[in-house]
Amino acid sequence: MLEERFRWIRGGIVRTVILSQRAHETFLEVPVEREDAALAWWRRYLRGYAARVESITAPRPVRILDLFCGSGGLALGLIEGLRASGCDPRIEMAVDVDEGALAVYAFNLKPARTLRCSITNLVEFQVFGQLKSAEFAYHPEMIDPMLASLKGGIDVICAGPPCQGHSNLNNHSRRDDPRNLLFLSVPAIAVALDAPTVIIENVPEVQSDKFGVVETASTLLKRSGYQLTDHVINSSSLGCAQLRRRYFLIASRGRLPQSLRGTIEKLEKSPVPVAWAIDDLRETVPDSVFNSTPSLSSENQRRIDYLFDEGLFDLPNEVRPDCHKNGHTYGSVYGRLDWNKPAQTITTGFLTPGRGRFIHPLERRVLTPHEAARLQAFPDSFKFVLSGRPAPSRQDLSKWIGDAVPSVMGHAAGICLAAALSVAPPD
């Protein structure tokens, strides 16, 4: 059983998450607003206000290993979802190759340890066959001693394998597709560490990978005693002002009382527009890279002016550069966002008008990193800073923000995970 409720009380909003007939409450101070209580909650959260857990029982510890962690969008949401569901999430280790992203992650999410390393250097495994015939040739073994020490001490592995890399799995299941080794390394690490639950996210297109990495990974997990649930989540259905779709796979060695799809249906909220997320930022002083935009070329500024002067949201063919004329696949490039609709997918190119629909709806410029972070559901309490180091560059910010998974998606996965944990007694 899963139910989520929001109700106004004096001084704020109480949020109640009911799992397995047990209610878990959190309180967020919110001034009275004429708005749906659920949306008012999330708007306040987005602006940096923290919720207070109202728990009458000791929360259940949940130990997390975060692979391909990036700057922490997925983990941020996962933590919030678990806390709202009566759990006490603790990140035991975060792993990524990006030193700066790890530093931002550590500053905000306080993992016990971080490890800068390629995932391919962490685990030794081989796979025979593929799709429904796939199986591990032998029990996967951890190579890294620090990670190996976590065996039996992890409750959840979460991972967002990127779509880049080089695969050299073995002679039985060698692939040309770079996603293969990275995606399949996650179930290998889960089995090697005896982790009871796993969350994997990726682009929806990974399901159509010509070598069937999702089905192969699913088979490996099932053969290792896991039950599975998966779903493609659209962030706009969860109260995020962005249209972004991601594929999620959750595996558990316990019973799954709630499917991921069922969880999403219980948590669905009304779509919110760009204005809902960033309207209060229009008066922000551009005193930092985070709150300012880069200078544009005269050609790009002319294209932006054309959109505003003509009252358009899409740049006509004759005004586009030659490489984007005549029915180019990416029709949204040089596009202007609509103030009253959700944004299209935010990518690492949000500082460049020629890389997507990233022109501000009301101002003749592209989005600031702060605005992009809000659209990615990063609350203002999350700081893109490097402790003891110079301020990050625009290139750093665009990568950390654009590559992230909107935290609302991790939040939903966290509640689904909590539902699975709620049917099993703690260690």
**What does the alpha-carbon distance between residue 202 and residue 399 come to, in Å, rounded to a whole number?**
17
Alpha helices in 119-173 (DSSP H): 145-148
Contacting residues for 412 by C-beta, under 8 A, at least 6 apart: 77, 81, 233, 238, 260, 263, 264, 267
Residue from 136, 118, 119 nearest 127 by CA? 136
Q: For the range 145-153, what are the long-range contacts, defined as Cβ-Cβ under 8 Å and sequence gap of 24 or more?
A: 146/93, 146/113, 146/115, 147/65, 147/93, 147/95, 147/115, 147/122, 147/189, 147/193, 148/192, 148/193, 150/65, 150/92, 150/93, 150/193, 151/192, 151/193, 151/194, 152/193, 152/194, 153/63, 153/92
Identify any residues that bridge with 16 across adjacent strands, giving them in sequence order.
5, 25
- Assess whether 163 carries a catalytic annotation: yes
Q: What is the DSSP annotation of 375-407?
A: HTT--TTS----TTSPPPPHHHHHHHHHTSPPH
Contacting residues for 88 by C-beta, under 8 A, at least 6 apart: 59, 60, 61, 62, 82
Residue from 19, 64, 18 nearest 196 by CA? 64
C-alpha distances (whole Å) from 55 to each of 76, 156, 419 are 20, 22, 17
Say which of 87, 117, 163, 240 is annotated catalytic.
163
Q: Which positions are catalytic?
A: 163
